[in-house]
Amino acid sequence: MTTGVVSVIVPAYQAERFLGQALDSALAQEGVPVEVIVVDDGSTDRTAEIATRPGVRLVQQHNRGIAAARNAGLALATGEFVAILDADDLWPTDRLLHQVGYLRTHPECGIVMGLTEIFLNPGDKRPKHWPHVLEGQTIPHHASSVLARRKVFEMVGGFDESLRLCEDIDWLARAKDAGVRAGSIDRLALRYRIHATNTTSDTRGIQTNLLRVLRASIQRQRAGA
């Protein structure tokens, strides 16, 4: 474990359109050292080329899904803290500074979350799967705003590779059921980009996977009662 360092894991599949901006935002973090690990999950576009830059470690694998890509990054992470950056999202430059500071002053918490700003990608039409009311809104507790201590991943485990969607929500549910305390900061931690190819466009798949995650959480809570 490298004390103070944040391991930033970027799972990427066919991510050439937005990956460069995502990496810029990770590498621009102020006041906190980062190691950026891009896991190219079998892309056939320019994803690997874009990720080949100073300050970024690129790992390539056959296409296995987002959970497997996240786990591949976790296996290589050496930082004291871990954050996941989806290849189409952005971070404000002070995100990690404030989140690391929170965990430093709140040792009882294993996770900290922040605020998420939802924005429509410039020049794109609003996809049907995103209601107009959410555009430009700031919401709390989005799964992608999480910064976690690495030891929490060691306790809870990685992401469920059998889940095609909602693997992040499942991980948070498992962490909660394991007794991990979560804190939050009233500051922007994530800019979530809306575009036509968001995984959230598969609304039926999300509903199916969320039900599975909920059932599994209920079973764990009953078993521990």
CB 51 within 8 A of CB 19: yes
pTM of the model: 0.92
Q: Taking the mean position of all CA atoms in its chain, how far away is CA 109? A: 18
- Residue 193 exposed, middle or buried by CB count within 10 Å (0-12, 13-18, 19+): buried
Span 90-140, pLDDT tens digits: 999 999 999 999 999 999 999 999 999 999 888 888 777 666 656 667 899
Span 7-60, pLDDT tens digits: 999 999 999 999 999 999 999 999 999 999 999 999 999 999 999 999 999 999
Which class does domain 2-224 fall in? Answer: alpha beta
| In 106-189, alpha helices (H) | 150-156, 167-177
CB 15 within 8 A of CB 48: no
What is the rounded end-to-end Cα distance, in angstroms, of the chain? Answer: 34
Q: Given phi > 0 = left and psi -120 to 50 = alpha, else beta, which region is 123?
A: left
